[in-house]
Every structure is written in structure tokens, then in C-alpha cells.
């Protein structure tokens, strides 16, 4: 009878020790996996934070226009999931045009924008003369001068349909 009790006791001791070793192995394995995941997530966070924030960054677009290479520079002002706002930076050429300005004239009942230096058409609009206030109508009939590109775009935004 003692032999059976010792045998069962020995069997239970071996069972408890083997279960303890197995559980400690699994816990150690889980700790290793958690450590690896934390390390990889830290690396990913570091990569994300190290990536350049495009807000304020300048982008240069190059194109050929009539055999000459033209560069246009844009600065990213803001961005979101569905919208990106770029602002064109002025180069020497655009500054020159901004100093010289634009002129609004009437052609075929609609307002047409001309660049001053060469009297070339800058933009045809669909703004009828009747859509403008009376004072502005007389100015356009005489050739209204606009000094800056911002002022021009403000006018076009206000009176375009």
C-alpha cells in the first residue's frame, strides 16, 4: 500500500513539475513575443515620426513650354484626407507680372483680363457686364487696372457665377 502511495505521490510530483516547466516555458515565450512586438511598434513609431511633415514643404514642378523649361514652386499650406491646399510661390517672372498688373476690358459683353506689359489676354471670363455694379461697369468700360494677382483673383471669385 505504501508503494502505491509513493508511486502516486511520485507520479503527481512529476506531473506538477512538468506542468510547471511547461507553463514557465509558455510564459517566457509570451514575454519574448511581447518584447518583439513592443520593439517593432517602437521602430514603426520612430519611422512615422521621422518622416518629414509635408506642411510648409516646397514642391517644384518642371514643364516645357514652347521649348523652354519652366519651374513652378508650390508650398503646401495644409492637407487633409480629401483636400490639399498648395500656394504658388512667386518667382522673378511672376513678381514682374504682379508689378505690372492686369487690366479688365469688355469684349462681346463679357469681362476679359489682359496682362499689362504685352496687352496679351490672360483669361476670358463668363462675367457679363450687367452682373457688375454700376460704378464697376464704367471702370471696366474704360479699362479697369488691377495691380496684383491676388486682387485679380478676388475680383474673379466675387463676380464669377
- Per-residue pLDDT at 22: 92
Q: What is the pLDDT of residue 50?
A: 45
Per-residue pLDDT tens for 65-105? 777 777 788 888 777 778 877 877 766 665 554 457 888 98
How much is the pTM? 0.39
Name residue 61's beta-bridge partners.
72
pLDDT digits (tens, 9 = 90+) for 135-154: 888 888 888 888 888 888 88
> What is the distance in angstroms between the CA of the first residue and the CA of the last residue of the chain?
105
Question: What confidence score (pLDDT) does residue 161 get?
Answer: 62
Amino acid at each position: 500500500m505504501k508503494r502505491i502511495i509513493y508511486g502516486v505521490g511520485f507520479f503527481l510530483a512529476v506531473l506538477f513539475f512538468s506542468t510547471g516547466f511547461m507553463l514557465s516555458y509558455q510564459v517566457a515565450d509570451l514575454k519574448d513575443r511581447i518584447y518583439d512586438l513592443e520593439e517593432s511598434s517602437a521602430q514603426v513609431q520612430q519611422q512615422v515620426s521621422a518622416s518629414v511633415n509635408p506642411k510648409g514643404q516646397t514642391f517644384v514642378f518642371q514643364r516645357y513650354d514652347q521649348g523652354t523649361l519652366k519651374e513652378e514652386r508650390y508650398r503646401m499650406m495644409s492637407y487633409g484626407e480629401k483636400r490639399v491646399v498648395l500656394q504658388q510661390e512667386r518667382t522673378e517672372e511672376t513678381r514682374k507680372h504682379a508689378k505690372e498688373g492686369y487690366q479688365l476690358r469688355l469684349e462681346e459683353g463679357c469681362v476679359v483680363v489682359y496682362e499689362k506689359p504685352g496687352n496679351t489676354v490672360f483669361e476670358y471670363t463668363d462675367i457679363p457686364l450687367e452682373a457688375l455694379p454700376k460704378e464697376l461697369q464704367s471702370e471696366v468700360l474704360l479699362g479697369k487696372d488691377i495691380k496684383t494677382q491676388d486682387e485679380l483673383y478676388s475680383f474673379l471669385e466675387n463676380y464669377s457665377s
